[in-house]
């Protein structure tokens, strides 16, 4: 009997090894549960192209925005656990574990960590029509006119929404959240003056500041960003201790064979550690975030706990 059991385990191990070596045998889909043009979309396409070159199969990006990233994420959670459907996710997902508890999936139950992708500071901007030239003036204006000012986000639970609500809480102001269906719509809103303020990824918003289309009030990291070194952090500009950002990562349906996850993790790490990637992303304000599967799992669980505390402290709710 022992020999039979050993033989079965050996056969299973061999089969998984063969599966990993053969993977991918066809194109792989990366579902981005956000709109076109945002950091998740941009970096999914970049990483997907590099993975395709390395593995000899196309990694095709499909945008499925909606319901604060729930729709696209649920589609991945319910996909076959074979490594051919992946999720480009962000801290929206760790926030949603508390902010949207009645989702059709649970992040750490239904999805398996693969690897991180990158981290970026955010940038707070206002439309030029707003009569404020720095963060303190904007806060004073908001305090003088409660609920008169508003800010855009790409939807409930997204890093831009959470950054805005955290700012409101720490600055002691009351401005109105205007959720859009995606980051591209939110950017169109702030550029067109339909909304007064937005906190967005520095990687995508910095060009609009340089072009004079928007005014920068502050960045969200611990230190100033090399992308816009003349712009102070929000913490030094008037809200001490304020810090947040956006990070991205990749997950797969729970039950995806470990050898497939390991291969994806290793290939993603090669992409993120390439010298040209690190140099190019640094100029954009993005820091590669490669981890082992176990490290990424721990990171996700800690981020869920971190944002659960913030949601509770601020009383945030989905509109």
CATH assignment at residue 229: 3.40.190.10
User: Residue 169 above 60 pLDDT?
Assistant: yes
pLDDT in tens, 263-301: 999 999 999 999 999 999 999 889 999 999 999 999 999
- Shared domain check, 6 and 115: yes
- My answer on whether omega of the bond before 17 falls inside 30° of 0, hence cis, is no
User: Residue 1 above 70 pLDDT?
Assistant: no
pLDDT in tens, 220-252: 999 999 999 999 999 999 999 999 999 999 999
Please give the pLDDT value at position 20: 60
Query: How many angstroms separate the CA atoms of 316 and 131, rounded?
Result: 28
Query: Domain boundary residue among 237, 255, 290?
Result: 237
Please give the pLDDT value at position 221: 93
- Shared domain check, 217 and 161: yes
Please give the pLDDT value at position 62: 98
- Shared domain check, 115 and 90: yes
- Find the domain containing 132 and state its range: 122-237
Number of domains in the chain: 2
Question: In this structure, are strands 150-153 and 59-63 parallel, antiparallel, or unpaired?
Answer: unpaired
């Amino acid at each position: 009997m022992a020999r039979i059991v050993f033989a079965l385990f050996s056969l299973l191990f061999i089969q998984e090894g063969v599966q990993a070596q053969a993977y991918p045998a066809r194109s792989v889909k990366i579902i981005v549960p956000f709109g076109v043009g945002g950091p998740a979309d941009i970096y999914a396409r970049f990483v997907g192209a590099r993975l395709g070159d390395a593995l000899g199969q196309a990694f095709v990006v499909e945008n499925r925005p909606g319901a604060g990233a729930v729709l696209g994420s649920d589609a991945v959670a319910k996909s076959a656990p074979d490594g051919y459907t992946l999720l480009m996710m962000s801290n929206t997902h760790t926030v949603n574990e508390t902010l949207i508890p009645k989702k059709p999936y649970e992040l750490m139950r239904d999805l398996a960590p693969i690897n991180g992708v990158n981290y970026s500071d955010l940038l707070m901007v206002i439309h030029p029509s707003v009569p404020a030239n720095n963060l303190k003036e904007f806060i004073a204006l908001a305090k003088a006119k409660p609920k008169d000012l508003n800010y855009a986000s790409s939807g409930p639970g997204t890093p831009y929404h959470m950054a805005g609500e955290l700012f409101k809480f720490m600055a002691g102001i009351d401005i109105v959240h205007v959720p859009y269906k995606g980051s591209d719509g939110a950017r169109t809103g702030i550029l067109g003056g339909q909304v007064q303020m937005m906190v967005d990824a520095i990687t995508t918003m910095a060009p609009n500041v340089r072009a004079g289309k928007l005014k920068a009030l502050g960045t969200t990291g611990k230190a100033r960003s090399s992308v816009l070194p003349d712009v102070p952090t929000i913490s030094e500009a008037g809200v001490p201790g304020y810090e947040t950002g956006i990070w991205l990562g990749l997950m797969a349906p729970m039950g995806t064979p470990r050898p497939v996850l390991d291969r994806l993790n290793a290939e993603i790490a090669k992409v993120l550690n390439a010298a040209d990637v690190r140099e190019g992303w640094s100029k954009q304000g993005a820091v590669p975030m490669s981890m082992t599967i176990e490290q990424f799992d721990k990171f996700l669980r800690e981020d869920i706990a971190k944002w659960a505390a913030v949601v509770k402290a601020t009383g945030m709710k989905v509109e």
